[in-house]
Amino acid sequence: MPGDEMTASNLSNSVQSPRENEAERRQRVSQRKRRNFMQSLLSHAAINIIGLFFLIPFLWMLITAFKSNADIFHTPPRWLPYDNVLVEVNGKQLPLYSVQTEAGMKQLAMVKIIEGVGKFVDPAYPDQVLTYEIQQGSTKIAEPMMHVSFRWQNFPDAMNRGSRPGIGASFWVYFKNSLVIAFFVIIGTLLSNAPVAYAFARIKFPGRDVLFVIVLATMMLPYQVTMIPLYLFFNNFLHWGDTFLPIIVPAFFANAYDVFLLRQFFRTIPEEMCDAARVDGASEWQIFTQLILPLSVPVLATVTVFTFLWAWNDFTGPLLFLTSPKNFTMALGLQDFQGQRTLVWNQLMAAATVFTVPIVIAFFFAQKTFIQGIKLTGSKE
């Protein structure tokens, strides 16, 4: 593979073939070294450039989250967040403007601007109010001064507000709702999928394979087919509209993906252990709870992490079933926020960052589990 210095070909090339002379051999070796160097350079460049593609949007989300309102729409976009320079005058923080006066450019604190006319105050002489027009025609007379500043205030501003002006429920409520839903979905998933997977893995009952094929077949069913009748069923028949129930309750009834994943794992537990336990008179339930489950903690951890990721991320379910803002999950709240004509991008990015943080934390704590789970689902079979 490119870049790998100690390949067999390198070694073999440094062995002299009897028909070459010394000069030709050295030329061949140096040619190879140059080619390796070029390959290495190219691959380093490629890795880095592609790495930037993955990294920069992430950083941009964070940078925008720290920008001030004045800075978001700056064209061209700046790579650092800027904010107004503030100066204290008579106990108040006022923005500093650079103003074209008769005596040249001066830095004045802006008190008020109404209908194109601004009242300014020289910080050194706070009692004298000067009046200037902000703009004459298309020349700007007074412009605010900006400096690099990280606006941490965006985060509480974002989380304390609702997704639309005046909505009572704040993003903290959405965050809590997401947590509640994720919690119950995880419980339901663990409780229901493990026994089902165990039955498919280790209980020899007639019809098992047929049923398993059916389980797998349901993976092929697009959710759109069941979506409409389920919507009508939950809303009109059970009257569970605008509650968490339509999202949480189905999690208690197993799903093909987790059954498949757990079954694969359970089958790696030696059959002899289960048989020995059966011979000793243990019931299937006892084998399941006392033998299999303790050994399955890693895969159950994987399922927990994946289920959390799925529930935290879920958008379509909340979209269909949650109608009043106080029941929104964070995913729905973010989309609601973004669907307005009043986009406050810095707050939106701040909320999105808060939305992403639990997942990133979970990832760093459960790095191995994550990767293990992905490999289990993706690589074999």
CB-based contact 257:295 (threshold 8 Å): no
Amino acid at 97: Y
- Strand 104-114 and strand 92-101: pairing? antiparallel
- Residue 128 vs 138, nearer CB to another protein: 138
- Residue 160 vs 338, nearer CB to another protein: 338
With H, G, I as helix, E, B as strand and everything else as coil, classify residue 176: helix
- Residue 53 vs 125, nearer CB to another protein: 53
Residue with tokens 């059966």: 278
d(CA 121, CA 113): 12
CB of 167 vs another protein, minimal distance in Å: 7
Cis peptide before 76 (omega within 30 of 0): yes
Gyration radius of the chain over CA positions: 32
d(CA 59, CA 119): 39
- Residue 9 vs 160, nearer CB to another protein: 9
CB of 375 vs another protein, minimal distance in Å: 5
Number of Cβ within 10 Å of residue 28's Cβ equals 15
CB-based contact 332:252 (threshold 8 Å): no
- Residue 172 vs 252, nearer CB to another protein: 252
Instruction: DSSP letter for 237, please.
Output: I
CB of 289 vs another protein, minimal distance in Å: 8
CB of 141 vs another protein, minimal distance in Å: 11
d(CA 8, CA 238): 69
- Residue 104 vs 235, nearer CB to another protein: 235
CB of 302 vs another protein, minimal distance in Å: 13
Phi, psi of 98, rounded to the nearest 5 degrees:
-100, 120
CA angle 170, 175, 179 (to 5 degrees): 150
- Residue 104 vs 229, nearer CB to another protein: 229
Q: Which residues contact 230 (CB under 8 A, 6 or more apart)?
A: 246
CB of 339 vs another protein, minimal distance in Å: 5
- Residue 108 vs 127, nearer CB to another protein: 108
d(CA 221, CA 256): 11
- Residue 211 vs 301, nearer CB to another protein: 211
Q: Which residues contact 290 (CB under 8 A, 6 or more apart)?
A: 282
CB of 322 vs another protein, minimal distance in Å: 9
CB of 172 vs another protein, minimal distance in Å: 15
Burial class (CB in 10 A: 0-12, 13-18, 19+), 64: buried
Q: Distances from the Cα of 231 to the Cαs of 323, 327, 352, in angstroms?
A: 13, 17, 28
CB of 269 vs another protein, minimal distance in Å: 16
d(CA 82, CA 96): 14
CB of 256 vs another protein, minimal distance in Å: 9
- Residue 18 vs 137, nearer CB to another protein: 137
